Structure 1
Amino acid sequence: MKKLLFILFTITFSSVSGQNIKIPDFLDKAEIENFDCNCLEKEVNYTKQEQKYVDILWEESLQYLKAYAIALTTSTGNCVDSDQAIYETVDGHKKLCVMDEKDMRLMVKHIYLVLLNQDKAKKCFAARKDLDWLYSPGGKARENSIVDQWLDRMTLEEFFKQKVADPEVRQAGVSFANNFNKMITGDDIELPSNFPYDISANALPNLWSAVGWVPMYAEESERNVRNFKKTRGGYAYGEIFGHWGLLRIDEINGEKVGAEIGMVVQAVNTFYAYHNHAISEMYHTIRKPACVNQFKTFAIDEDNPAVNTVYEDKSLRRIQFDTNVPQEYMMWSTGAADNQPFVYFHRNTIHAFEVDGNCEAKPEEKALVTIWARSNAADRRNDYGTTLLCESADNPGTPGKRGEVIQCDLTKIKW
């Protein structure tokens, strides 16, 4: 503990609170000056010693959020003051300027209001040390994070060994946990050019280790059996800002906060099965691929002509689409940190991710690493917090494979 405290007292980091944050012209000065927020839980009180760790986590969280907001509002492609994203890959790669979307404008505004009113917003921030469903990467990642050492969460390796029943999922998960730090750090981690500075684990080791990781598909459930076992053991996400994250704000100036912002890691040689949710979602790839077409994304809008309704009731619409078509590979896009790094999925867009490991020298050490967000998660009338996995139409209850007819249940969105 003495060694840990010495590191704590000597550590230095760039404080967002010490930087001049430029106020974008799309913000209303009155909202900044009259900032008010309601938290999702009571403010947590820490001892003086604990607060030192919480402050480090807070500062790194602010750095992450600031860079993300800047990236989203920086011109890329043919967009003005906006990042450009692929939103559908079927029938050609369709793109949009994300800041044209109302949900994105609200999310970015809320990020800036937090950055410009840090003292008030901080009351909604907590390390969430008491939760038993948030995990630490353990290993080298924990060694490099004094905050993670203080939190002392159960590690991902312990989770997979103690809480996961399926032997194949457990084996994949233990390998995932043992190589996690190698997956999120190193020279092949690269931010897209519209990010103003590095917010990867290379630059923010405390945040990436102590955020609290969720291996959401690992345990047995009726939903999870529709995902592939290697993916179930090789997938985790962390949430910084949002209802499940570290910064939990219900309302800002009377507006519901719909942002969920964090990061995702998906091991190579995995296929994240076709899935959907009634909440818009986006990913920025922050890793250089080892070969062309390593990181593949599928996205089809619910209104695409290839989507056929086979059943409908008051709450859902069951659809099917056929992937057993000539040149099926053209239904997918490929991305990298320096080439089409950004994808945005409208509500009920069916999407999937396939990560090739054949070109990796040490595939067990590599993963697709992304900056992740959902923008309108405050609408709890829809499937807030729920991801719906599709299935094989011919073999219901099993993951839909490429080359099959895929069947999905889509939430009927409430207006």
Structure 2
Amino acid sequence: MYKFVRILTLGILLSMLAGKAAFAAEFVCLDVTEKKWTKEEQRNIDLFWNDTLTYLEAYVKALETPTGLCLDSAEAVVSSYNSETGKPEKECITKKRDVELMIKHVKAVLANPEKAKRCFDPQLSNSNGWTKLYTPSRELQNYSPVSKWLNRPIAVDYFEKVKDPEIKKAGIKLNKNFVAIAAKTDSSDHFGRDITIKGLPHLWSSVGWIPFYAESKKAWNKDIRGGYLYAEVMGPWGNLRIDTIDGETVGAEIGMTAQLNNSSYPVHFHHPQEIYMTLTTPAHPRQNQFMLMDWDSDQFEAARTEDGFDVEVKGEGKWKDWYMSADQKDNWLIYLERNALHAFYAGDEKNADLENSGWVSVWARTTARDNNQTTQISVPADKNTKRILPDTHVHAHTKRWKP
């Protein structure tokens, strides 16, 4: 009995010390200049900031709430196909060291909101330093006084001026219907509260959205060049930019993505680990499908090169085994290791005309401050390929990263 009480007391003491440490956390901001705001501007910033804190709190809760076979963690898909079992592979996500560190830093923010707020930038300049930030549509801009104040350029207007008709069509469709697409989401199963556009309108309408691949020919597919958006809430290019907490580099990069229905995001990879949490309620069982496998899977052919490996991905006759469906209830959480090959296929030709449909996710990178952050997209074996689909033969050149 005495031993039990002593262990219990020690546990309480350690918890108190951990809480005290979090409370005493020291923040160094990353390229954020303090400004003087009017009372009205500060009210807008406070609305934006409060939504951000709610979002981050729910994000940590989703990661730590037990699902599947995990006792103290959410269970994540780490591979969509194992050739030995013919099934996906899953692991407890908070057991990953990079995820553990990200959660630690987000909790420090939640425990020290006033200190962390000094690193919060509404990005009134409508730029994150390397590209323009947009609001998808005027309908979304009217969702919040914060968004009206920020007055970001409208993405629909941007795509109206795009010359390529296919990119233009996809871009206008996604952005013009963004509110309806984003509304077909549900976070009640895993987040503990509504963190969608319906629950956090100030955040979703005020964060800066980027038509990430619009001007990138490397993305290959014109449907994805127009039909993909990304936004960063916390991270080195987002609104909450923290360099260090208690001397530790903050690598957390947390935001959201939106992909238009019937678009194909080709096989790609990158050095930083990545997390996707699906919020969309799919219109049919195989609307939103993803492939995720290690580059050295026995399903691919790999040849060593001087700085990495050339990987051949031949999906014909195999891709339906490789890809699995995601929705907001099941297979909602995906974790990508470094250089993992992955792709997102949002629907198919039979469901091309689904009205106001797309794939919306909470997205994150855990190590956004190390190595090469650039997303590397595969290239088709046949250079005459006009659109990369799941069954297209593609090359991927993965490179080694620094330890």
1:246 counterpart letter in structure 2: N
Take 1:29 and 1:397, find their aligned partners in 2: how far apart are those partners? 56
Whether the 8 Å CA contact 1:285–1:336 is kept in 2: the answer is: yes
Q: Distance in 1 between matches of 2:100 and 2:16?
A: 9
1:320 alignment partner, one of 312, 325, 331: 312
User: Which residue matches 1:168?
Assistant: 166
Give the distance between the partners of 2:54 and 2:114, measured in 1 at CA.
15
Structure 2: where are the runs of 5+ without partners?
Answer: 1-13
Cα deviation, 1:62-98, whole Å, max 9, x if unaligned, reads 0000000011000000112211111111222000100
- Residue identity opposite 2:285 in structure 1: V
TM-score (norm 1): 0.87
Question: What is the identity, as a one-letter code, of the residue corresponding to 1:383?
Answer: N
Return 5+ residue gaps in structure 1 as ranges. 1-23
2:89 matches 1:94? yes
The CA distance in 2 between the partners of 1:266 and 1:125, in whole Å, is 27
In 1, Cα distance between equivalents of 2:164 and 2:244:
40
TM-score (norm 2): 0.89
Contact kept in structure 2, 1:161 and 1:174, CA below 8 Å: yes
Where does residue 410 of structure 1 map in the other structure? 398
Q: Is 1:27–1:109's contact at 8 Å kept on the other side of the alignment?
A: no
- Structure 1 residues 124, 398: closer, same or farther in 2, change over 3 A? farther
Secondary structure of the corresponding residue to residue 255 of structure 2: strand
Equivalent in the alignment of 1:119: 114
Single out whichever of 64-73 and 305-314 deviates more from structure 2: 305-314
Question: Residue 337 of structure 1: CA displacement?
Answer: 1.0
- State the distance in 2 between where 1:352 and 1:332 align: 9
Quote how far apart the aligned CAs of 1:318 are. 2.3
2:76 aligned partner = 85
Cα 1:396–1:81 shift into 2, 3 Å: farther
SS in 2 for 1:89: strand
Cα deviation code 1:285-311 (max 9, x no counterpart): 112111111110101102212333335
Matched, 1:262 2:255: yes
Which amino acid is 2:19 matched to? K
Q: Which residue of structure 2 lines up, in the alignment, with residue 295 of structure 1?
A: 288
Shift in alpha-carbon separation, 1:364–1:26, aligned structure 2, 3 A: farther
Residue 218 of structure 1: aligned partner: 214
Q: Are the equivalent residues in 1 in contact too, given 2:274–2:337 (CA < 8 A)? A: yes
2:65 maps to amino acid = T
Q: For 1:260 and 1:100, locate their aligned partners in 2 and report how far apart those are by CA, in whole Å.
A: 19
Between 140-149 and 403-412, the greater mean CA deviation after superposition? 403-412
- Partners of 1:139 and 1:181 within 8 A in 2: no
Identify the residue that residue 334 of structure 2 maps to in structure 1. 343
What letter is aligned with 1:62? L
Aligned runs of 1:179-194 on 2, under 5 Å?
179-185=177-183, 188-191=184-187, 193-194=189-190
SS of equivalent residue, structure 1 residue 28: helix
Shift of 1:208: 0.3
CA contact (8 A) 1:73 1:82 kept: yes
> Quick one: distance in 2 between partners of 1:64 and 1:396?
44
* Residue aligning to 1:178: 176
| Counterpart amino acid of residue 409 in structure 1 | H
**Counterparts of 2:15 and 2:63 in 1: how far apart (Å)?**
15
Q: Letter of the 1:128 partner, please give it.
A: Q
Letter in 1 for 2:135: S
Cα distance in structure 1, aligned partners of 2:293 and 2:188: 24
Matched to 2:251, the amino acid is G
Which residue of structure 1 lines up, in the alignment, with residue 28 of structure 2? 38
| Superposed displacement of residue 145, structure 1 | 1.2
Residues 241, 42 of structure 1: CA spacing in aligned structure 2 closer, same or farther, 3 A cutoff? closer
**Alpha carbons 2:378, 2:396 under 8 Å: kept:** yes
1:372 is aligned to 363
Q: Counterparts of 2:17 and 2:165 in 1: how far apart (Å)?
A: 52
* Aligned equivalents of 1:410, 1:328: Cα separation in 2: 20
Q: Give distance in 1, aligned partners of 2:17 and 2:163.
A: 50
Identity %: 34
Which whole-Å CA distance do the structure 1 matches of 2:345 and 2:253 have between them? 23
RMSD: 2.1
Q: For 2:191, what is the secondary structure of its paired residue? A: coil
**Are the structure 2 counterparts of residues 246 and 412 from structure 1 closer, same or farther at C-alpha, using a change threshold of 3 Å?**
same
Aligned length: 381
C-alpha distance in structure 1 between counterparts of 2:139 and 2:24, whole Å: 44
Q: Secondary structure at the match of 2:309?
A: strand
CA shift in 2, pair 1:361/1:273, >3 Å: closer
Correspondence list, 1:222-301, <5 A: 222-224=217-219, 226=220, 228-301=221-294
| Partner Cα distance (1:147, 1:27) in 2 | 38
Q: Give CA deviations for 1:244-288 in whole Å, capped at 9, x if unaligned.
A: 110001111111111110111111011111111111111111121
